[in-house]
């Protein structure tokens, strides 16, 4: 098995993901090759919580332009993790 810190890269905190926290759903950027089982085991091991469900989303790269310069925004793989009733992650608390 891979190192759990290689699978979970960082939490994603946006306005949309902050609203999902009310439903016990937390969003992470994960490694490109990570699957649902690896993400579930990594979150349970790092945060000591019970994971009920994992949804994975591939966000494709997009064109980005600043003035006359063009480039691409990188592609990312996101995982939305649903926790058991009554559990929460303190990482996302403000």
pLDDT tens figures, 14-67: 999 999 999 999 999 999 999 999 999 999 999 999 999 999 999 999 999 999
Superfamily of domain 4-85: RRM (RNA recognition motif) domain (3.30.70.330)
pTM for this prediction: 0.87
Q: Distance between CA atoms of 30 and 5, rounded to whole angstroms?
A: 9
Domain range annotation of the chain: 4-85
Query: Over 90: is that where the pLDDT of 88 sits?
Result: no
Torsion, Cα of 31, 36, 37, 43 (10° steps): 70
Mean pLDDT throughout 70-91? 93
């Amino acid at each position: 098995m891979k190192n759990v810190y290689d699978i979970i890269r960082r939490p994603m905190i946006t306005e949309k993901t902050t609203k999902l926290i009310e439903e016990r759903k937390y969003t992470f950027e994960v490694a490109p090759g990570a699957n649902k089982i690896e993400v579930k085991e990594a979150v349970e091991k790092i945060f000591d919580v019970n994971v009920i469900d994992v949804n994975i989303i591939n966000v494709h790269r997009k064109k980005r332009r600043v003035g006359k310069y063009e480039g691409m925004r990188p592609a990312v793989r996101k995982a939305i993790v649903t926790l058991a009733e009554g559990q929460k992650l303190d990482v996302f608390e403000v």
